[in-house]
Structure 1
């Protein structure tokens, strides 16, 4: 079959297949162009989930009539200088506009501050010459009937509601990185989204609150770290505040929103000890580094990146997040208090007369608490019927358990032989004693694991594991680290390693399977975390079985000792499985429940 040159229209349609996956992809490309043009106000309008209409208007620098034909030409851009590795803009490939024009009805109207406005149209790849057009400084790009020129692609689109949601998500994701820009998203298929511009030192945090909600900022920790020219900033959620998937983990590299497997893995690794596998943290993290140290040209959609030193970036991420989780005081998620408030809200009253009991209603019964054989505390209800009754005083806290002295306050009671009720200066704390003690035991076990070399069990005969030569070389390079974790191995000829000792904690272990898993992880991320995770999983099970059980009655001094240990232990806000260990209800919320506020 002879080789032939493809036509420009076919080339553009092929490029569109790579760059333009759905309406949200178009919005992403157009909004990035507006930001690169210096816009401070971007307005997006859609109809039909973006398939019928997409309009992006900005107040950026605009284009002249001479620029418009170049803007819709392939590989034409104003954003790429001589050094293709020095990328300082969001868009640079010069493929978006010609690709969009090849599969839709595209019009671009633009004007610079000192020139007359002009407009150009493209329909299914057919370009019309520019013509004069009135307009404000800036650019308006309108895309109608997306994929009309490639109807087969329409069959793969989701519902209009789903496509509209995807557009909203991409706008929010970009908006987080540019708090100084106002974003407006409107249309008949959505409620209007208006994200105002913010200025000042707290602009980013205000924009994060606009997008992710005040609930996230109330349950987040600040991150600030720098290592070898790579800086990291932003906010991450406390362990007690998490989501069921990773869609709320926002990561940015030099202002570009990315979805990178290595970065996502680093975030999961940082939370490995405080979140269960089926939960994910909420993050808004910003990496800033020299453009020459990151390749953003891995994929046409530019969502994937590749770092020159991924180990450095991963170590910075994991170390900074773990440090933030360690140094910050123990905190409960505000969502727990909200759930508690809902649980305590009184149900709608029965049909009662406004002047007393309804005549048809049964007479009031004797207070059930006076006869309950299982009530945990006796406050003297039965005695209140006597005329000589004097209120029984509450027992006073011990001198060392004054509520104002401690973050988790002073223990006041144990209910249902599992929950500790404590009082602070301005709140009520309810602690799950088993979950809390489980975390304390687990952290103690982890400390002992890393404080000294792990106990090992020597194999009667060394286990020889055959591997590809590259995997054997990688394992040998990490032999010292693996040895500190209790796995002693060495090279055994070409393409094999000999394992002589294994961690005693693992008991009987599938040595070849463990070694191959480690080799795969080292090849993927240059870490030996798989072995450490196995050891931590065993420590977690030991902690679960060795902690205070539900149903055990605790003395006041035991409860207060548990609270003091929680305050001194990093990550004690959640148990090993990611469940909260305590819930805090502020005094003003309690007063609201009783109508005092």
Structure 2
């Protein structure tokens, strides 16, 4: 078979397959062009998820008729300086979002594309290309700027159109693409309309955190920390959610490199590493990270759609992200997700039901015997003393305005109640269900999960001990034999040296047993058998996938879980207050080792809402 050149229309369609995968891809390219044109306002209009119509209008610099004709040719761009076109470093010097010159001709080869543009001080011009063929060209009336309309995408390419998802799914992808670009440029106002309804409006703001708060959940503002770090010319900024504020998918992680939205595995892996042992493995943090890197240290010409980048020193980039996130989360201290609005809806106010009065209020037939609890609420006057119900006369024993006060037994307190509610987590007032500590603060009521809180405290103690050397161990008077299957014993034996750093002294005891000679002193009187069994399961699940540091963190988390205060243990007021004070000075104490919150707060305003005072 002889070699021959491909026809121009086929070349454009092949290029479209790389650049224009779906309506969101075309929309992304058009919005990037508007940003590069110096626009201060960008308006997007969609119909049927972008499959029927995509319109992008901006107030940028505009194009002359000659520039418009050139823009529809492949590999024609205004985004590379002419002085660098003959230089091998031209791509490295790119500061614009687009530079390949493939977007417009690729879109025009698989849709009907209309471009209307006007340069300030001159007349407007329009050009229409229908699936590669120019069908109309002439003057156009419009304000300075550019308007691009894409209609019937893939209408003549059924093989591509059948792979599109539903209009609702395509609309979601389009909205996500615009949202990411809008986050990167808070100095540009964005609006998005879909099927005649405005779905996004972001005005010009000065700072990126303000734009992020506008485009994401408003609750993120109260459940996040600011990121600001610089290292060897690399600058990292943005916001990151507290570990207790997380999502089930990673779609809420927005990453930007030099203002360019990217989806890079290195950066996502760094985020997972930073949140290790602070968030469940099946949950994901909500972050918006902006990384500024010198242009000679990053390659943006890796993917046709420019969604991936390559770093010259990936280890330094990963270390910067992990360190920046860790430092910000450490500074958050005991902070947790803000007041549980969802939990408030689950509280039920006290109210009567539709049962018969004799069932709902404890009425008894006249002349019947009354229990001591019932007689304690008997009225002292004739008010409501007799009433006729179904089956005869009954006596109403409901408390009235003149009723005697409820009888209760008073006991002297062994010590005066604690004071000083000025602590961030307040002072302990009691314990509920032998599991939850009730504390009073100046601004509300705090509930603490004693097991989850102590679990985090033990883990942080172990980490601090590891920094200073090794965790102190406590020898068992009688070594305990733990029987396991042979593969589990092999895994534990291969990690015996690492486990000894945590104070756990293990020794092989035959093919299917391990001998426990010492346990970490921090764990107190823990169950060696349960601890070793859980560690074996942990190593089986994550041993191959995790690095040494992540494995050590996983081991520490499992040990801390076994050594923490268990739910169901009665604590004294002194013990409860000691736990609260340690939480206030311990990093990440707002969440346990599995990412669940350790405490929640009901503000005074929330309590007033529960009782209808607001």
What secondary structure is seen at the aligned counterpart in 2 of 1:98? helix
Q: Given the alignment of the two structures, is residue 97 of structure 1 paired with residue 104 of structure 2, yes or no?
A: yes
The alpha-carbon distance between structure 1 residues 570 and 132, as it changes in their structure 2 partners (threshold 3 A), is same
Q: Identify the residue that residue 132 of structure 1 maps to in structure 2.
A: 139
Contact 1:101–1:125 under 8 Å retained in 2? yes
Determine the structure 1 residue equivalent to 2:204: 198
Instruction: Say whether the 8 Å CA contact 1:422–1:428 is kept in structure 2.
Output: yes
Give the SS at the match of 1:403: coil
Among 438, 449, 462, which residue is 2:455 paired with? 438
Judge conservation of contact 2:333–2:590 (CA < 8 Å) in 1: no
SS for the counterpart of 1:344 is: coil
Provide the alpha-carbon RMSD of the alignment: 3.4
Tell me the SS of whatever aligns to 1:538. Answer: helix
The 1:117/1:90 distance shift into structure 2, 3 A limit, reads: same
Q: Secondary structure at the match of 1:444?
A: helix
Distance 2:2 2:335 in 1: 69
Distance in 2 separating the partners of 1:256 and 1:484? 46
- Partner of residue 278, structure 2: 274
Distance 1:361 1:184 in 2: 59
1:339 Cα deviation from its structure 2 partner:
2.4
Deviation at 1:443, TM superposition (A): 1.2
CA distance in 2, matches of 1:24, 1:204: 23
1:360-371 to 2 correspondence within 5 Å? 361-362=357-358, 364-365=360-361
Q: Report the CA distance between 1:292 and its aligned residue.
A: 1.7
Q: Quick one: which of 184, 188, 194 aligns to 1:187? A: 194
Q: 1:178 to 1:144 in 2, by over 3 A?
A: same
1:168 and 1:78 mapped to 2: Cα distance?
27
Secondary structure in 2 aligned to 1:130?
Answer: strand
| Aligned twin of 1:47 | 47
- 2:420 aligned partner: 402
Separation in 1 of the partners of 2:350 and 2:66?
A: 69
Aligned to 1:477: none
Query: Does structure 1 conserve the Cα–Cα contact (< 8 Å) formed by 2:180 and 2:261?
Result: yes
1:264-413 counterparts in 2 under 5 A? Answer: 264-334=268-338, 337-346=340-349, 350=353, 361-362=357-358, 364-365=360-361, 386=404, 401-404=419-422, 406-413=423-430
Give the secondary-structure state (helix, strand or coil) at the position aligned to 2:129.
strand
The answer to which of 13-22 and 287-296 deviates more is 287-296
Report how far residue 331 of structure 1 moved: 1.4
Q: How many residues align?
A: 523
Candidates 148, 154, 158, aligned match of 1:151: 158
User: Taking structure 1 as reference, are residues 387 and 297 closer, same or farther at Cα in structure 2, changes over 3 Å only?
Assistant: closer
The correspondence for 2:237, drawn from 230, 233, 238, is 233
- Deviation track 1:101-121 (CA, whole Å, cap 9, x = no partner) reads 000011100001021111111
CA distance in 2, matches of 1:99, 1:194: 28
CA contact under 8 A between 1:252 and 1:285: conserved in structure 2? Answer: yes
Aligned to 2:490: none
Q: Which residue of structure 1 lines up, in the alignment, with residue 389 of structure 2? A: none
Distance, in Å, in 2 between the alignment partners of 1:507 and 1:337 is: 36
For residue 387 of structure 1, report the CA deviation from its aligned partner: 6.0
Residue 134 and residue 390 in structure 1: after superposition, are their counterparts in 2 closer, same or farther (change >3 A)? same
Structure 2-normalised TM-score?
Answer: 0.79
Deviations 1:487-525 (A, max 9, x none): xxxxxxxxxxxxxxxxx99989x9xxx9xx99x98xxxx
User: CA offset at residue 343 of structure 1?
Assistant: 1.5
TM-score by length of 1: 0.81
C-alpha separation between the residues in 1 aligned to 2:451 and 2:407? 39
Runs (5+) with no aligned partner, structure 2? 85-89, 364-371, 375-398, 474-497, 503-518, 521-530
Displacement of 1:361 in angstroms is 4.5
